[in-house]
Structure 1
Protein backbone atom coordinates (compact mmCIF):
# COMPACT_ATOMS: atom_id res chain seq x y z
CA UNK A 1 0.00 0.00 0.00
CA UNK A 2 1.31 3.44 -0.92
CA UNK A 3 1.05 6.39 1.43
CA UNK A 4 2.09 10.02 1.15
CA UNK A 5 3.57 11.11 4.47
CA UNK A 6 4.33 14.74 5.27
CA UNK A 7 6.66 15.27 8.24
CA UNK A 8 7.58 18.56 9.86
CA UNK A 9 10.19 18.54 12.62
CA UNK A 10 9.70 20.98 15.51
CA UNK A 11 12.55 20.90 18.00
CA UNK A 12 11.65 22.38 21.39
CA UNK A 13 13.63 25.48 22.36
CA UNK A 14 16.52 24.60 24.62
CA UNK A 15 16.72 20.95 23.55
CA UNK A 16 20.28 19.67 23.97
CA UNK A 17 22.03 20.25 20.60
CA UNK A 18 24.35 17.24 21.02
CA UNK A 19 21.42 14.93 21.76
CA UNK A 20 19.58 16.33 18.73
CA UNK A 21 22.61 15.60 16.50
CA UNK A 22 22.70 12.04 17.86
CA UNK A 23 18.99 11.58 17.10
CA UNK A 24 19.44 13.00 13.58
CA UNK A 25 22.22 10.50 12.87
CA UNK A 26 20.01 7.62 14.07
CA UNK A 27 17.11 8.96 11.96
CA UNK A 28 19.28 9.12 8.85
CA UNK A 29 20.53 5.55 9.29
CA UNK A 30 17.00 4.26 9.96
CA UNK A 31 15.47 6.06 6.97
CA UNK A 32 18.25 4.97 4.62
CA UNK A 33 17.79 1.34 5.69
CA UNK A 34 14.05 1.60 4.91
CA UNK A 35 14.93 3.15 1.53
CA UNK A 36 17.28 0.26 0.72
CA UNK A 37 14.47 -2.17 1.58
CA UNK A 38 12.12 -0.35 -0.83
CA UNK A 39 9.72 0.64 1.96
CA UNK A 40 10.57 4.36 2.02
CA UNK A 41 10.23 4.84 -1.74
CA UNK A 42 10.81 8.58 -2.08
CA UNK A 43 11.81 11.48 0.15
CA UNK A 44 11.81 15.15 -0.82
CA UNK A 45 12.82 18.12 1.29
CA UNK A 46 10.31 20.96 1.52
CA UNK A 47 12.31 24.07 0.63
CA UNK A 48 12.65 26.54 3.47
CA UNK A 49 11.27 24.19 6.14
CA UNK A 50 12.60 21.42 8.35
CA UNK A 51 10.12 19.14 6.61
CA UNK A 52 9.79 16.42 4.00
CA UNK A 53 7.25 14.73 1.80
CA UNK A 54 7.76 10.99 1.47
CA UNK A 55 6.18 7.98 -0.21
CA UNK A 56 6.03 4.73 1.77
CA UNK A 57 5.17 1.29 0.39
CA UNK A 58 3.97 -0.79 3.34
CA UNK A 59 1.90 -3.92 4.03
CA UNK A 60 -0.92 -2.08 5.78
CA UNK A 61 -1.84 0.84 8.04
CA UNK A 62 -0.37 -0.83 11.11
CA UNK A 63 2.96 -1.37 9.36
CA UNK A 64 3.16 2.34 8.50
CA UNK A 65 2.12 3.33 12.02
CA UNK A 66 4.83 1.16 13.57
CA UNK A 67 7.52 2.55 11.24
CA UNK A 68 6.57 6.16 11.92
CA UNK A 69 6.48 5.59 15.68
CA UNK A 70 9.97 4.05 15.46
CA UNK A 71 11.52 7.15 13.87
CA UNK A 72 14.05 8.62 16.32
CA UNK A 73 12.71 12.13 15.64
CA UNK A 74 9.06 11.05 15.94
CA UNK A 75 8.52 12.90 19.26
CA UNK A 76 9.36 16.16 17.46
CA UNK A 77 7.24 15.59 14.33
CA UNK A 78 3.91 16.77 13.05
CA UNK A 79 2.84 14.05 10.59
CA UNK A 80 0.08 13.93 7.98
CA UNK A 81 -0.69 10.66 6.18
CA UNK A 82 -2.73 10.12 3.00
CA UNK A 83 -3.35 6.79 1.23
CA UNK A 84 -2.53 6.72 -2.48
CA UNK A 85 -3.80 4.71 -5.43
CA UNK A 86 -2.96 4.79 -9.12
CA UNK A 87 -4.78 7.46 -11.11
CA UNK A 88 -6.74 6.11 -14.10
CA UNK A 89 -5.08 8.69 -16.39
CA UNK A 90 -1.53 7.66 -15.43
CA UNK A 91 0.48 6.58 -18.49
CA UNK A 92 2.93 4.44 -16.44
CA UNK A 93 2.15 1.29 -14.51
CA UNK A 94 5.07 1.85 -12.15
CA UNK A 95 6.16 4.69 -9.87
CA UNK A 96 8.23 6.67 -12.38
Structure 2
Protein backbone atom coordinates (compact mmCIF):
# COMPACT_ATOMS: atom_id res chain seq x y z
CA UNK A 1 0.00 0.00 0.00
CA UNK A 2 1.23 3.46 -0.87
CA UNK A 3 0.69 6.42 1.43
CA UNK A 4 1.27 10.12 0.81
CA UNK A 5 2.22 11.75 4.11
CA UNK A 6 2.70 15.42 4.94
CA UNK A 7 4.74 16.11 8.06
CA UNK A 8 4.90 19.61 9.54
CA UNK A 9 7.46 20.01 12.33
CA UNK A 10 7.16 22.54 15.13
CA UNK A 11 9.92 22.13 17.71
CA UNK A 12 9.20 24.42 20.70
CA UNK A 13 11.62 27.32 21.03
CA UNK A 14 12.33 26.46 24.68
CA UNK A 15 13.95 23.09 23.87
CA UNK A 16 17.74 23.41 24.32
CA UNK A 17 19.63 23.42 21.01
CA UNK A 18 21.73 20.38 21.94
CA UNK A 19 18.59 18.37 22.78
CA UNK A 20 16.89 19.42 19.52
CA UNK A 21 20.01 18.51 17.54
CA UNK A 22 20.15 15.07 19.15
CA UNK A 23 16.47 14.43 18.31
CA UNK A 24 17.06 15.54 14.71
CA UNK A 25 20.10 13.24 14.41
CA UNK A 26 18.04 10.26 15.60
CA UNK A 27 15.25 11.25 13.19
CA UNK A 28 17.68 11.35 10.27
CA UNK A 29 19.18 7.94 11.09
CA UNK A 30 15.72 6.35 11.52
CA UNK A 31 14.32 7.85 8.31
CA UNK A 32 17.38 6.91 6.26
CA UNK A 33 17.18 3.30 7.48
CA UNK A 34 13.53 3.18 6.39
CA UNK A 35 14.49 4.68 3.01
CA UNK A 36 17.20 2.06 2.51
CA UNK A 37 14.68 -0.68 3.33
CA UNK A 38 12.31 0.61 0.63
CA UNK A 39 9.51 1.39 3.06
CA UNK A 40 10.04 5.17 2.86
CA UNK A 41 10.17 5.53 -0.94
CA UNK A 42 10.34 9.31 -1.30
CA UNK A 43 10.92 12.36 0.88
CA UNK A 44 10.62 15.91 -0.44
CA UNK A 45 11.31 19.11 1.49
CA UNK A 46 8.71 21.87 1.15
CA UNK A 47 10.64 25.02 0.26
CA UNK A 48 10.43 27.66 2.95
CA UNK A 49 8.75 25.36 5.50
CA UNK A 50 9.91 22.92 8.15
CA UNK A 51 7.83 20.23 6.47
CA UNK A 52 8.01 17.39 3.99
CA UNK A 53 5.94 15.28 1.66
CA UNK A 54 6.80 11.61 1.80
CA UNK A 55 5.64 8.42 0.10
CA UNK A 56 5.65 5.18 2.07
CA UNK A 57 5.23 1.67 0.61
CA UNK A 58 3.92 -0.52 3.41
CA UNK A 59 1.79 -3.56 4.14
CA UNK A 60 -0.93 -1.82 6.15
CA UNK A 61 -2.32 1.24 7.89
CA UNK A 62 -1.10 -0.24 11.15
CA UNK A 63 2.49 -0.48 9.87
CA UNK A 64 2.37 3.18 8.83
CA UNK A 65 1.04 4.14 12.24
CA UNK A 66 3.83 2.27 14.02
CA UNK A 67 6.51 3.88 11.83
CA UNK A 68 5.12 7.39 12.32
CA UNK A 69 4.74 7.20 16.09
CA UNK A 70 8.33 5.91 16.33
CA UNK A 71 9.70 9.04 14.64
CA UNK A 72 11.82 10.93 17.19
CA UNK A 73 10.20 14.20 16.04
CA UNK A 74 6.67 12.73 16.24
CA UNK A 75 5.73 14.68 19.41
CA UNK A 76 6.44 17.90 17.50
CA UNK A 77 4.67 17.01 14.24
CA UNK A 78 1.33 17.57 12.63
CA UNK A 79 0.85 14.68 10.20
CA UNK A 80 -1.72 14.12 7.47
CA UNK A 81 -2.02 10.84 5.55
CA UNK A 82 -3.59 10.08 2.18
CA UNK A 83 -3.74 6.46 0.97
CA UNK A 84 -2.78 6.11 -2.70
CA UNK A 85 -3.57 3.58 -5.41
CA UNK A 86 -2.21 3.12 -8.89
CA UNK A 87 -3.88 5.22 -11.57
CA UNK A 88 -5.15 3.19 -14.55
CA UNK A 89 -3.45 5.63 -16.98
CA UNK A 90 0.00 5.22 -15.40
CA UNK A 91 2.74 4.02 -17.74
CA UNK A 92 4.90 2.83 -14.83
CA UNK A 93 4.81 -0.87 -14.09
CA UNK A 94 6.72 -0.58 -10.81
CA UNK A 95 4.06 1.32 -8.85
CA UNK A 96 1.85 -0.76 -6.62
Name the TM-score, length of structure 2 as normaliser. Answer: 0.96
1:31 equivalenced with 2:28 (yes/no): no
Q: What's the offset of the Cα at 1:57?
A: 0.7
Give the CA RMSD over aligned residues.
0.7
Unaligned runs of 5+ in 1: none
Alignment of 1:69-88 (within 5 A): 69-88=69-88
Q: How many pairs does the alignment contain?
A: 95
Unaligned runs of 5+ in 2: none
Q: What's the offset of the Cα at 1:53?
A: 0.3
Cα-to-partner distance string for 1:8-39 (whole Å, 9 max, x where unaligned): 10011211111000000000000000001000
Alignment of 1:1-96 (within 5 A): 1-95=1-95
State the distance in 1 between where 2:59 and 2:86 align.
Answer: 16
State the distance in 1 between where 2:16 and 2:94 align.
Answer: 43
Q: Which runs of 4+ in 1 moved over 3 A?
A: none
State the distance in 2 between where 1:94 and 1:23 align.
Answer: 34
